[in-house]
Structure 1
């Protein structure tokens, strides 16, 4: 049981890190001798849960971890409908679409449809991003009560760019507007030069909120026009899934 707990803790470290993690860091965090930490990571590598860079010897998520992450929550009929909406939106706009779910104060990216417009940022499926800085993250947060959102944050929010919302009060103000409009926007809050619009649907099968967003470079799209296309798609899928928000039975 202790070995399993250590494996879970090591995987959590790697999942939370934006950079590959050294075995020394893992051993220190888990209070393990370097030899024990190396054996643990070797077992995880053999199972495909992590992979090791040949030069740096550091660890990052492996192919099995990506397969598990991509399948997380978004399964069955929910995912099929949302993925159809993603493809249609990407085709209509030329912009990249994303599917994500909320994990505490972060989002986890589950699906992507690459648009024709070149991306100005690089993210990978399974990667976590701060919810308060992303359009899809704020849309997912809007499905929580204010008290649950406040419990996720301290007095100051981590800044990704100079445009990132800095305080919980400002975030709550933005989220109340999102609930009213049906969509969220991130104007260079997560990545410089990138605008995103996003919304959320409560999945009937997955039993969780699933987010959908579109991202595009500043100056290459009208956020309000993109948001109108997005909300039309969300409304269609949300009503199909019986989401009370999109059915208009909740405010």
Structure 2
């Protein structure tokens, strides 16, 4: 077993103040900041003075409240610039497939619509016509429904209006099962944070799909877990759904997403 590395305790203690400011997201008084960071105000103040000199925090002269400073912003932007959702998602998909022993797919919104960019095969492979580059049905698949639920309406409406004119599109009748009639289904997806299909559109295959968000709250990609009906529990409160939710939440967090 690897021995834990030794750190500097004072940095870890002071770091709680920065974490609290990041989580709260608004200026705070010394009293509130110290209290939520689980330390006395007298102990927190010297840390804040040092962080202020570094530019990690700044104090408003009028209200005396503290907030994150310009260096914290620069560090955050530098981190965001190097983040690649698909690269991070690929690593997450590998871990999720190993945990659940199910196939995991990543999809992004491309010029052709919901497009598979990575597939992690499970120890129980499924025989379906899905590979990198496959464009998924917008309304019939769990993957497509998550995009329909979380992308702006104008994006989906434009896709519906124009996709039938392109060679990659599904038949026009497939793309228009009344956008208005889909609203109830999409509302349920947003309520559960997940889309579910059971033995459709492929008989014998179940799937669950969930969204991953970026630092601006925009949909970055969709992760789908799928497997044979006999071996895959599609329940929204089941183990597969729980693991998928946790995976997407962690990935969203790494991309800078802060849920309201």
Sort the TM-score into its range (normalised by shorter chain): 0.5 to 0.7
Equivalent in 114, 123, 127 of residue 134 of structure 2: 127
Unaligned runs of 5+ in 1: 1-74
Higher Cα radius of gyration:
2
Aligned residue pairs: how many?
A: 166
Question: What is residue 91 of structure 1 aligned with on the other side?
Answer: 98
CA drift of 1:188 comes to 2.8
Per-residue displacement from partner, 1:175-197 (whole Å, max 9, x unpaired)?
11111111111223332211111
Shift in CA distance, 117/145, structure 1 to aligned 2, threshold 3 Å:
same
Give the whole-Å Cα distance in 1 for the aligned partners of 2:91 and 2:219: 19
1:216 and 2:223 equivalent? Answer: no
Question: What is residue 182 of structure 1 aligned with on the other side?
Answer: 193
Equivalent in 215, 220, 227 of residue 241 of structure 2: 227
Give the whole-Å Cα distance in 2 for the aligned partners of 1:153 and 1:176: 19
Alignment check: 8 A CA contact 1:109 1:124 kept: yes
Shift in CA distance, 145/177, structure 1 to aligned 2, threshold 3 Å:
same
Shift in CA distance, 144/93, structure 1 to aligned 2, threshold 3 Å:
same
CA drift of 1:103 comes to 3.2
When normalised by structure 1's length, the TM-score is 0.58
Question: What is residue 240 of structure 1 aligned with on the other side?
Answer: 254
Give the whole-Å Cα distance in 1 for the aligned partners of 2:201 and 2:111: 17
Give the whole-Å Cα distance in 2 for the aligned partners of 1:157 and 1:188: 23
Give the whole-Å Cα distance in 2 for the aligned partners of 1:104 and 1:77: 19
Per-residue displacement from partner, 1:74-127 (whole Å, max 9, x unpaired)?
x95322321222111101111110011123673111001001113131222112
Partner secondary structure for residue 92 of structure 2: helix
Alignment check: 8 A CA contact 2:226 2:232 kept: no
CA drift of 1:150 comes to 4.1
Per-residue displacement from partner, 1:54-80 (whole Å, max 9, x unpaired)?
xxxxxxxxxxxxxxxxxxxxx953223
Give the whole-Å Cα distance in 2 for the aligned partners of 1:77 and 1:147: 26
Give the whole-Å Cα distance in 2 for the aligned partners of 1:147 and 1:159: 19
Partner secondary structure for residue 143 of structure 2: helix
Partner secondary structure for residue 230 of structure 1: helix
Partner secondary structure for residue 180 of structure 1: helix
When normalised by structure 2's length, the TM-score is 0.56
